[in-house]
Amino acid sequence: MAAACKVSTRTIQRYLDHIENDLRIPLVRPERNTSKGGGEGLYRLDAGYLPPVSPEKAVIIFLSLLQQKGSALAGHINEIKDALVGTLFKYKYSPHSLPVDKLQDRIHIVEEKLADPEGVGRIFSVLVQSLLDCCRVKLYYFTAYSRQDTKRVVEPYGLICKHHNWYLVAYCLARQDIRVFRVDQIRDAIPYTSERFAYPEDFSLKEFMTHSWGVFNDGEVTTVKLKFSPEVAHRVANLVYHPSQVIEQELPDGSVVMCFDVCGLAEMKTWIVQWGDMVEVLEPDWLRKEMREMALRLADMYPAGVDKVTGLIP
């Protein structure tokens, strides 16, 4: 190095010290090889080196990890945070540049959390490995609508994440069709490592999910028109809820009519209900009728003037 740069070895040593101490880039120093014909090794960057990022970007990475505390990824989150702080940031910034404790004290995340994130995380790991290995998996699955435990042997095609909840898309051998399984409803997963399958070349997870409102694809694409009241029009117009979303009309009173081409409307109905009387279904007519019937059932649950405990009129 000294010969190539036409400087003294002391100057090279000062450069190396500057790289490590001032630029905070770790170096692996050579060990002298005393065997026959041996000589000096080479200076090189640490094999585990990762480029440092700015404190601002480090904060964003750190906060994104905090969001996963109650998810299937929670099992290794703490050690991942420690690794990031210890590897990505320490070579360029002092420990005080990323005030980890202060961030955690001043950030509060409101979200649903899994009751047993570690247990779900273990099953999640099995599914990820089965995806990589293309091996079949036996699932012990709780079916919510029938409230029954079932056994399925499936070929995993992919994973979907919605609101930190994970879903497995897989070919079910019993149903001879593609099915979607919510990961936190899988009681156990046993990989059949000796039973491999060929991932279908004509299958695309992205295309499979293109028209789905949520995570389920029933294959029937329907055009849905919704009218949002002025109170929420600005909010819904600033968010993209589905790739097919189009603002069809902005009315003089400030309300907006939005159009979607979607399938899996059972999930969409739940979303519509969340808006209460601030949204109206315009099309299709059958969905409009179903929402009206649902509203009537809700009204029957809350009859006026009836004691909520005894069910009697005072």
Q: Where are the domains of the chain?
A: 14-49, 55-106, 117-209, 222-301
Q: 222-301 — its CATH code?
A: 3.30.70
Q: How many residues does the chain have?
A: 314
Nearest to 173 by CA among 197, 194, 190: 197
Q: Does domain 117-209 have CATH number 2.30.30?
A: yes
Q: Could you tell me the two tokens for 281?
A: 């279904």
Structure tokens at 273: 């209900």
150 Cβ neighbours under 8 A, 6+ residues apart: 140, 141, 142, 143
What's the confidence (pLDDT) of residue 151? Answer: 95
- Per residue of the chain (314 residues), give pLDDT as tens: 788 888 898 888 888 888 777 776 667 666 544 444 544 556 665 555 556 667 677 778 778 887 887 888 887 777 777 666 666 555 555 555 556 667 777 888 877 888 888 899 999 999 999 999 999 999 999 988 888 999 999 999 999 998 888 999 999 999 999 999 999 999 999 999 999 999 999 999 999 999 999 998 888 899 999 999 999 999 999 999 999 999 999 999 999 999 999 999 999 999 999 999 999 999 999 999 999 999 999 888 888 776 666 666 65
- Residue 284, Cβ density class (10 Å: 0-12 exposed, 13-18 middle, ≥19 buried): middle
Nearest CA to 207 out of 219, 191, 192 is that of 219
208 close to 169: Cβ distance less than 8 angstroms: yes
